[in-house]
Amino acid sequence: MKMIVMVMMMMMMSEGSMIDQTCKQTPDFNLCVSLLNSDPRGSSADISGLALILIDKIKVLATKTLNEINGLYKKRPELKQALDQCSRRYKTILNADVPEAIEAISKGVPKFGEDGVIDAGVEASVCEEGFQGKSPLTSLTKSMQNISSVTRAVVRMLL
Amino acid sequence: MASTEALLPVTSRQDPLSESRSDQIPETRRRRPIKVHLAVCSGLLLIALYVTLIVTHDGSTAQNGAKDETSTESRARLAGVSEKSNDGVWKLSGDGKTEAFPWNNTMLSWQRTAFHFQPEKNWMNDPNGPLFYKGWYHFFYQYNPNAAVWGDIVWGHAVSKDLIHWLYLPLAMVPDQWYDANGVWTGSATFLDDGSIVMLYTGSTDKFVQVQNLAYPEDPSDPLLLKWTKFSGNPVLVPPPGIGAKDFRDPTTAWKTSSGKWRITIGSKINRTGISLVYDTTDFKTYEKHETLLHQVPNTGMWECVDFYPVSKTKINGLDTSVKGPDVKHIVKASMDDTRIDHYAIGTYDDSNGTWVPDNPSIDVGISTGLRYDYGKFYASKTFYDQNKKRRILWGWIGESDSEAADVQKGWSSVQGIPRTVVLDTKTGKNLVQWPVEEIKSLRLSNKKFHMKVGPGTVVPIDVGSAAQLDIEAEFKIKKDDLEIILGEDSVEADEEFSCQNGGGSTVRGALGPFGFSVLADQSLSEHTPVYFYVTKGKDSKLKTFFCTDTSRSTMANDVVKPVYGSFVPVLKEEKLTMRILVDHSIVEGFAQGGRTCITSRVYPTKAIYGATKLFLFNNAIDATVTASFKVWQMNGAFIHPYPADDL
């Protein structure tokens, strides 16, 4: 039984350490680990797979933020102009950045994936700035910036 | 055994996707073990994991701390991909002063170039298979027919009589075979002895493997080469043992060996070493792989778009790719995936074994301090031998430096640089010299000539009318007396550490510079793009000249990358300082000392557009007066349009 325990421990440790080793090379280890561990594919993925998981997180977050933006039109009609910009920016993340990144990483030309991921962070920041200090989306913006930053670091490992 | 909950750092951590700290997203919670021995096992495992996390957490706090600087009023600024691509941290820096900036269609439509090659819409990247055949220059290119970002790649096609006036043709190749189902990627053309064309290109297979495929014109009597046939036996090359399935792309034009075989090279990597594989063939269908590489350089990463060609040591014409001999040096060039920079080196090719050694290993291919075709935005470049005019011509992909949202809104992304001739610099012997093809002069309309002395700290408006499509040729001379004073004066510090990137841009004043032109400027210079020389005094009192382009103030927009680009440029004794600038809306190409140092930039003004675009001459030096002699031409558009459908 001790053998089983040892073997299982070693197996699980070596699965965990791919995520650990990868996340150590990103600007936010804790975020990286929690994102990757929250996906069942994480424990057996290679670096490309980990990157794809993170890009999926970007997609989920962008969708969530877009919903939030849509809801704000009614609640904060005075913010319409900024919300329009943000809507455009987050749609870019969903319709351009994410598909580009997924295709690029799947096909082994990660530099285009890096471009898409960097851009996700830029779009979030530009949206945020449109509120000139009074953004109702700040927490979501920060999340996107952080995830973008972590994902970029992982994608760079593929270059 | 302590409760496993206490040792589960993962579930106690806030899920970043949830805004509420008290929420726990179910998927982060580990399933509780139901059997005792599994409980023991996972308990031990978790202790081990927890320990690992404690140990590694300390290493990451510094980076976490740095990230906390972001603030809601931060100004979005991209860490320029080529400058900071290795730091992995995308930082925001803030001044909160810039207003958030919505692009409107007026501003965006101004950005389209008038005389640079770009498709009618959507995304383009690498130049492919350029060649001259039956009176036409052919240009193929990586193209996305569906979006303004990279993806769904096919081969676009265009023809021109003069490398300037292009006519769009139907797509040349699309992903219609299993061996290129996921992308018809970059490739090169070779002319066989009988004048027929073969094309080798990379396909991304249905299983995402990168392979090399052979194609040839379906109808060689068609000067437009509209249709291409893919060899039924494709792929002709698959990744060899030891090479990653996704690290094998961009085959070169072939050259003839002394034994009469054809030889190609393909870039790749082994771990972090960039390499170039060599294959010999007689029929382009079966190949022998060399055991040795053409060349390799550690720590340079994946080599994309490798190019290999001879240059004459003595003559100014280009050479066919197969030329060898004592009168010739060979260039190895590669596009560095890591940094998006095209590097080249000059060296000697050994045809007996297909290897190459650089003249100067300290600036080998891919070394960051090594030579580049262009010190700005310029990638995936490719040369071809133009047998029509005996030139070697260089194409380079010029991507956007703006946000993808803007690209999507304006409906397109990327242009090609103006094709350049490439020759060895026979005066220095140590670098190539590039120059826009002569044919571009056919776009020159009216011109104005100027000759003026510009004192230190002066800005002079140059009235040329419309200033978005210009060709400027200029010569500068620093006043001799000033030079002598500065060189002789000990108090003028030697500027050993200057580089365009660290020099602070065009507003930082030195004794002998910066001076040059501000293009794409508005009247008040709230937006402008200086292209300039900066001359420094070295410790040994020798002058050192730099050529830079400063895009940091090129636009009020905050979602654009705005680096300062540039490099040292060799200036030989008795030479005047010369620069040429091509301005074409959102692209600026600068050439110093006849093309010894070239800089391409993308510029996206919000105010300096249409009638508001101006040109200025400036001298920001502290001590030196400069005499500028220059000519400015208005440039016509190339009116690139589809080949008339009726004539196809």
Q: What is the pLDDT of residue B553?
A: 97
Residues 6+ apart with CB under 8 A from B291: none
Which residue in the list B23, B68, B126, B194 is annotated as catalytic? B126
Residue A130 is nearest to which of B25, B78, B100, comparing CB atoms?
B100
Q: Is A7 on the interface with B (CB under 8 A)?
A: no
**Between A and B, how many CB-CB pairs are < 8 A?**
213
Residues 6+ apart with CB under 8 A from B134: B223
Q: What is the pLDDT of residue B393?
A: 98
| Closest of B635, B638, B634, B617 to residue B626, by C-alpha | B617
Q: Is B76 on the interface with A (CB under 8 A)?
A: yes
A10, A20, A109: which to substitute to probe chain B, counting the most B Cβ within 10 Å?
Answer: A109
Q: What is this model's ipTM?
A: 0.90
Burial class (CB in 10 A: 0-12, 13-18, 19+), A75: exposed
* Separation CA B263–CA B594 (nearest Å): 33
Q: Is A43 on the interface with B (CB under 8 A)?
A: no
Q: Is A86 on the interface with B (CB under 8 A)?
A: no
Q: Which residues of B touch A144 (CB under 8 A)?
A: none
Q: What is the pLDDT of residue B82?
A: 33
Residue A126 is nearest to which of B52, B79, B100, comparing CB atoms?
B100
Residues with pLDDT less than 50, chain B: 1-34, 36, 48-98
* Separation CA B324–CA B206 (nearest Å): 40
Pick the more confident residue, A7 or A159.
A159
- CB distance B246 to B213 below 8 Å: no
Q: Which residues of A touch B403 (CB under 8 A)?
A: 89, 92, 119, 122-123, 126
In this structure, what is the dihedral angle of CA atoms A59, A64, A68, A70, given to the nearest 10 degrees? 60
Cα three-residue angle B19-B20-B23, rounded to 5 degrees: 120
Burial class (CB in 10 A: 0-12, 13-18, 19+), B97: exposed
Q: Which residues of A touch B92 (CB under 8 A)?
A: 125, 145
Q: Is A138 on the interface with B (CB under 8 A)?
A: yes
- Count helices and strands (H / E) in chain A: 7, 0
| Closest of B587, B503, B509 to residue B548, by C-alpha | B503
- Amino acid in the structure at residue B360: N
Q: What is the pLDDT of residue B53?
A: 44
Q: Which residues of B27-63 are buried (b: 16+ CB within 10 A; e: fewer)?
A: ebeeeeeeeeeeebbbbbbbebbeeebeebeeebeeb
Give catalytic status of residue B126 as yes or no: yes
Q: What is the pLDDT of residue B498?
A: 87
Tell me the angle at which helices A47-75 and A98-107 cross, rounded to the nearest 10 degrees.
Answer: 170
Residue A28 predicted with pLDDT over 50: yes
Q: Do B92 and A125 touch (CB under 8 A)?
A: yes
Q: What is the pLDDT of residue A1?
A: 73
Token pair listed for B172: 């040349």
Q: Do B37 and A1 touch (CB under 8 A)?
A: yes
Residue B596, φ and ψ in degrees, nearest 5:
-70, -35
Q: Do A143 and B17 touch (CB under 8 A)?
A: yes
- Encode pLDDT of A80-129 as tens digits: 999 999 999 999 999 999 999 999 999 999 999 999 999 999 999 999 99
* Separation CA A121–CA B14 (nearest Å): 21
Q: What is the pLDDT of residue B283?
A: 98
Minimal-distance CA residue of chain A relative to B72? A133
- Encode pLDDT of A49-72 as tens digits: 999 999 999 999 999 999 999 999
Length of chain A equals 159
* d(CA A73, nearest CA chain B) in Å: 18
Pick the more confident residue, A4 or B38.
A4
Residues 6+ apart with CB under 8 A from B241: none
Q: Cα dist. B318→B163, B310, B313, B383, B392 in Å? A: 16, 8, 11, 11, 4
Q: Which residues of A touch B104 (CB under 8 A)?
A: none
Q: What is the pLDDT of residue B371?
A: 97
Q: Cα dist. B491→B12, B478, B484, B498, B534 in Å? A: 63, 19, 13, 17, 19
Q: Is B24 on the interface with A (CB under 8 A)?
A: no
Side-chain half-sphere exposure of B161, counting CA atoms within 13 A? 3
Q: What is the pLDDT of residue B70?
A: 33
